[in-house]
Amino acid sequence: MRKDSFWYRFFDLYYDGFCHMTLGKTLWAIIIIKLFIMFAILRVFFFPNFLKENTIKGNEANFIEKELIKRQ
């Protein structure tokens, strides 16, 4: 890649900025850990797959339709 191309300069700007961060690296690490906790751990233990437990494969749309009509 040529050093005067747009993509090289774009990448170099963010790469150089990220390498020289001190507090920013810590904050990014905290954000990534929190996202991992929210999407990997909490989803597995607290949010079961309701459709998979209550429907037969292929009838998910019918189940949702009946539930929406019943709750109105």
CA atoms of 59 and 72, how far apart (whole Å): 21
Residue 46: the pLDDT is: 80
Residue 55: the pLDDT is: 80
- The average confidence (pLDDT) of the chain is 85
Q: What is the pLDDT of residues 12-38, one digit of tens each?
A: 988 888 888 888 889 989 999 999 998
Contact 8, 2 (CB under 8 A): yes
Rg (CA), the chain: 23
Q: Mean pLDDT throughout 55-70?
A: 85
Q: Mean pLDDT throughout 2-18?
A: 87
CA distances from 18 to 7, 36, 47, 62 (A): 17, 21, 35, 49
Q: Mean pLDDT throughout 47-52?
A: 75
